């Protein structure tokens, strides 16, 4: 599967949080998030393992009992079912991979996915 780059195709899934699924296969899903300054991703958990990379911006990120003042170039891995959440301290762009595929995120992908 190839997905051509575009600035469009984002869907607001929470106030100030926009999601676009970039590509997926049988076991992984790649997505990008655009998060507005002061937007909050409430603490939540899911069975998917999640690996992320902060492209730009700054996040106050909580994973379990750990807190990270995430800055561009920082990355993380969250095991399945571990509580996590974040608050954007600046407008931010995040790239994340989920395994297994987050089926509910397929609707936020390219038209041909």
String of DSSP letters for 29-69? EEEEEEE-TT-EEEEE--SSEEEEEEEES-EEEEETTEEEE
The predicted pLDDT at position 6 comes to 86
Torsion from C-alpha of 100, 101, 102, 103, nearest 10 degrees: -130
**Mind listing the pLDDT tens digit for each residue in 50-94?**
999 999 999 999 999 999 999 999 999 999 999 999 999 999 999
Mean pLDDT for the stretch of residues 2-6: 85
The predicted pLDDT at position 110 comes to 65
**Structure pTM?**
0.92
Q: Which domains does the chain have, with CATH numbers?
A: 11-104 (2.60.120.10)
Per-residue pLDDT band at 112 (split at 50, 70, 90): very low
């Amino acid at each position: 599967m190839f997905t051509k780059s575009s600035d469009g195709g984002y869907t607001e899934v929470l106030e100030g949080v926009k999601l676009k699924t970039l590509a997926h296969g049988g076991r992984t899903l790649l997505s990008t998030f655009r998060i507005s300054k002061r937007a909050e991703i409430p603490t939540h958990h899911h069975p998917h393992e999640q690996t992320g990379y902060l492209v730009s911006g700054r996040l106050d990120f909580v994973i379990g009992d750990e807190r990270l003042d995430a800055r561009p170039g920082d990355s993380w891995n969250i095991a399945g079912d571990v509580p996590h959440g974040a608050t954007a301290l600046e407008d931010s762009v995040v790239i994340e991979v989920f395994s297994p595929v987050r089926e509910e995120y397929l609707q936020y992908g390219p038209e041909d996915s």
